[in-house]
A and B are shown apart, each in its own frame.
Chain A
Amino acid sequence: MHASKRLGVAGAALAAFSVGAPTTAAAQDIADHTYTPEAIQEGSRVYVTECALCHASTGDGVDGVDLRRGLFSNARSDDDLRRIITSGVGGSRMPAIDLRAAELDGVVAYIRAGFDPSGVAVRVGDPARGQEIFDGAGRCTRCHRVNGIGGRRFAPDLSAIGVARAPAALQRTILDPTSALQPINRPVRIVTRDGEAIRGRRLNEDTHTVQIVDSQERLRSLVKADLAEYEVRETASMPTPDLTPDQVADLIGYLLTLRGLP
């Protein structure tokens, strides 16, 4: 059996690993330049002192709201966020908070950066246009399925991706799929001792077995001792869609609306 790669010495591992959320040139292009890294860092400080008591450091301290993942009760645009922060929400526990303009921009930037002080603020566009791109120019439905419609289950189902991923992670996935590929989701290539060749996506693994969904959309659990070859690939199967920065922003806006069953 050809065991999959192991990370070697520290130095070799470093090259492949992300330390401190690097921003690719593409991500810089797409980012909303209203916000600077300084603004995001300023926002992280303001958040801790003004927001975290109720919303928690994780952003999900208030029922129905997950700030880190962009799930809001009343807001969609950045201006909505500014208005709610400065005016509060009548009839709720959200008070009006008196912030300087730079502090206010910072908090919005921090939220849009997915609570990553070293990240980039992500521009979130129009969900309706984003859905058109998802179904059309982005060719996303060729592989991905949403609420039972679209591609094959070999690719991750996106029905609740707006809950599972923060805006920054969605942007990273669209611009450079491999850089955002979660290790557990890595594609696998397997040849059994019986000679069967299998391609699939990893769902789970332990010392002696691996669980996958194969290219025929079958859930399969395989015993490693029965495999002649087992390769875990670090390159995403997903191609980088050919989209303009505006289209990417719209697509992110749409993906954030995907929250599964209520």
Chain B
Amino acid sequence: MKTLKLTALLAVIGVTAPGGLTAQVTYERILNAADEPESWLTYNGTYSSQRYSRLTQITRDNVDDLQLGWMLPNQVFGAWQSNPIVFDGVMYITQRPNDVMAVDPVTGRVFWRYRHTNAENALVCCGANNRGVAVLGDKVFMGTLDAHLIALDRISGTPLWKVEVGDVNLAYSITMAPLAVKDKIMVGVGGGEFGIRGYVAAYDAETGEEAWRFYTIPGPGEPGHETWAGDDWQYGGAPIWITGSFDPALNLVYWGVGNPGPDWNAAQRPGDNLYSDAVVALDADTGELVWYFQFTPNDGYDYDSVQVPILADMDWNGEQRKLMLWANRNGYFYVLDREDGEFLSGTPFVTVNWSSGLDANGRPIPTPQPEDMPTYPGNQGGTNWYPPSFSPRTELFYFVAWEDYATIYRPEESEYVPGRAFLGGGFDVLTPVPGAPGVGIGRTNPINNWTDAVGHGVVMAMDPRTGEPRWRFDQFDVSESGMLTTATDLLFTGSRDGYLHALDARTGELLWKVNLGGQIVMAPVTYMVDGRQYVSVISGHTLVTFGLRD
């Protein structure tokens, strides 16, 4: 009881720091981030990762009055996947490859920029991406392409400490935004295409000292090690490259784990390959595994399960339960009990032919396709890392799916060479005529010459209880945009063809749109400064912020 009071008190102090004094972002503030909707304190908005804001100034009735507030162009080219963090009058945003900028959230003007120079041999599969920072206390934390974790002073941008998280020479990297929990900063490593052995690790926020490390591939003698043959576990991938979630009552952090390696030749690594393509629930203080659920055992399709775990408390068959909602890259939508990982339901949300269904425990029944035949969903998945949203008002789960999208896999034997690509073959996107452009990662052409003939995006409002979408919003191109919902039942999302859409979260009706021109490969965020609500989104090379007309 005493603790609770203290928590509440600290939260109040944090929000109402008087006289322009800079308040610290205490753990309690992040814990209660939902009560502080004027800020955006962590990658997914809150520890439950719902990306749902209680701000109410922008409504279905006045969304038409949104106007351009400011724009901040990126000086570095390439997809801009970063997620802004906003509090106490400052926005923190990263740009490629590892710049951090402190920005005035009202004018878009930059207070300072910190630039990290990566080791020349830093290696990533899919672009020099960074998805943003974490904040805790007086510090801002960023993971780097060369697999370091850096703490910066949030006022001056001065680096305070820097630790090596992984060996860049073995192609370890960090692209995700770290997660601050209590006094620790947690971060996972990428490199699933280069034969790493994945892990998530926690560091003391003050000193950078490593507190714990959880390997996503169990070592000899550990449970689950038997799901790997021979030495495969040493370079079996299973990276963690998207920010997880935290349930403070259960003291569990949840992380989605990526694909096993080599990516496309499952036969080369017999066994279930735990904990690749799984969600792991770890004790937040020790990093010990409490439970896991594997979505795709022995995956040969690159079905990373790095999706953001959405935590929602809902009625389930007449009983209030702590749920985890998950639209997976493998094409199934799952509901799990997040206390113990029990499988509650799983339904396909796009065409799925790599499996004929899930058994009573949620294990897929594999139906591998013959050579040269297409697999649905294709390599980028039925969905991917694009952050979803859950609205406690509508009790719907919003995410973007890729429909009518398939690839033909060409598995081959791969030899592991340290620090080199370890892919196990390749794949082709299924196209209507030979040589026609297939859909790939990101947009590089102002003309959509791949067209919806090779796949297209759908915003789905999934009813977790039925596994059926309540409504759907079709897009011509595919989309890598995440979702934002608000207490006024607005859903903001983008698209690869450059639109920012505002939809009615209850019906899917299009209420407002603007063509920003560049691909949107992040989730919009919202915040409030001096009584004015803003919506920020990155399109192409420009961070764009909207507010209501005066």
**A residues engaging B (CB < 8 A)?**
6-7, 9-10, 13-14, 16-21, 114, 116, 119, 166, 168-169, 172, 179-184, 203-208, 234
Nearest-neighbour CB distance to chain A for B192, whole angstroms, equals 23
Partner of B513 from the list A7, A9, A21, A208 (CB cut-off 8 Å) is: A208
Question: Between A and B, how many residue pairs show CB distances below 8 Å?
Answer: 90
State in angstroms the CA–CA spacing of A119 and B475 once bound together: 34
State in angstroms the CA–CA spacing of A21 and B436 once bound together: 12
B498–A172 contact, CB under 8 A?
no
State in angstroms the CA–CA spacing of A159 and B498 once bound together: 32
- One digit per residue, 1 when the CB lies within 8 angstroms of any chain A CB and 0 when it does not, for chain B 316-351 equals 000000000000000000000000000000000001
B436–A182 contact, CB under 8 A?
yes
List A contacts of B303 (CB < 8 A). Answer: none
List B contacts of A184 (CB < 8 A). Answer: 447-451
**B residues engaging A (CB < 8 A)?**
351, 353, 372-374, 376, 404, 406, 408, 430-437, 446-454, 474-477, 495, 497-499, 513, 515
State in angstroms the CA–CA spacing of A169 and B437 once bound together: 13
Partner of A19 from the list B408, B475, B476 (CB cut-off 8 Å) is: B408
Partner of B434 from the list A21, A204, A208 (CB cut-off 8 Å) is: A21
List B contacts of A9 (CB < 8 A). Answer: 351
List A contacts of B351 (CB < 8 A). Answer: 9-10
List B contacts of A234 (CB < 8 A). Answer: 432
List A contacts of B353 (CB < 8 A). Answer: 10
B448–A206 contact, CB under 8 A?
yes
Interface of B is mostly: loop
B495–A207 contact, CB under 8 A?
yes
List A contacts of B497 (CB < 8 A). Answer: 206-207
State in angstroms the CA–CA spacing of A116 and B433 once bound together: 13
Of A10, A16, A181, A204, the most chain B CB neighbours within 10 A belong to A10
List A contacts of B454 (CB < 8 A). Answer: 183
- Cβ-closest chain A residue relative to B457: A207
Nearest-neighbour CB distance to chain B for A9, whole angstroms, equals 6
Nearest-neighbour CB distance to chain B for A18, whole angstroms, equals 5
List B contacts of A18 (CB < 8 A). Answer: 431-434
* Contact A20 B372, CB 8 Å, known A10-B353, A184-B447: yes
Nearest-neighbour CB distance to chain B for A84, whole angstroms, equals 26
B435–A169 contact, CB under 8 A?
yes
Nearest-neighbour CB distance to chain A for B101, whole angstroms, equals 30
List B contacts of A16 (CB < 8 A). Answer: 432
State in angstroms the CA–CA spacing of A179 and B476 once bound together: 23
* Contact A207 B434, CB 8 Å, known A9-B351, A10-B374, A183-B453: no
B477–A207 contact, CB under 8 A?
yes
B451–A183 contact, CB under 8 A?
yes
Of A19, A172, A183, the most chain B CB neighbours within 10 A belong to A183
24 intermolecular pairs with C-beta atoms under 8 Å apart: A6-B404, A9-B351, A10-B351, A13-B374, A13-B430, A14-B373, A17-B432, A19-B373, A19-B374, A19-B408, A172-B434, A180-B433, A181-B433, A182-B433, A182-B449, A183-B454, A184-B450, A203-B447, A204-B446, A205-B452, A206-B495, A206-B499, A208-B499, A234-B432
State in angstroms the CA–CA spacing of A169 and B435 once bound together: 8
State in angstroms the CA–CA spacing of A182 and B431 once bound together: 9
State in angstroms the CA–CA spacing of A208 and B437 once bound together: 22
B476–A206 contact, CB under 8 A?
yes
List A contacts of B498 (CB < 8 A). Answer: 206
* Contact A13 B436, CB 8 Å, known A19-B372, A19-B430: no
* Contact A169 B477, CB 8 Å, known A7-B453, A9-B351, A206-B448: no
State in angstroms the CA–CA spacing of A205 and B453 once bound together: 12
Nearest-neighbour CB distance to chain A for B329, whole angstroms, equals 17
List B contacts of A21 (CB < 8 A). Answer: 434
State in angstroms the CA–CA spacing of A205 and B373 once bound together: 28
List B contacts of A13 (CB < 8 A). Answer: 374, 404, 406, 430
List B contacts of A168 (CB < 8 A). Answer: 434
List A contacts of B404 (CB < 8 A). Answer: 6-7, 13
State in angstroms the CA–CA spacing of A68 and B151 once bound together: 50
Nearest-neighbour CB distance to chain B for A239, whole angstroms, equals 18
Nearest-neighbour CB distance to chain B for A238, whole angstroms, equals 13
List A contacts of B449 (CB < 8 A). Answer: 182-184
B476–A207 contact, CB under 8 A?
yes
Nearest-neighbour CB distance to chain B for A154, whole angstroms, equals 18
Besides A21-B434, A183-B431, A205-B448, 9 more A-B contacts (Cβ < 8 Å) are A10-B351, A13-B406, A19-B430, A114-B435, A183-B436, A204-B446, A204-B448, A206-B477, A206-B495
State in angstroms the CA–CA spacing of A24 and B434 once bound together: 13
List B contacts of A180 (CB < 8 A). Answer: 433-434
State in angstroms the CA–CA spacing of A16 and B404 once bound together: 13
List A contacts of B374 (CB < 8 A). Answer: 10, 13-14, 17, 19
List A contacts of B474 (CB < 8 A). Answer: 207
List B contacts of A183 (CB < 8 A). Answer: 431-433, 436, 449-451, 453-454
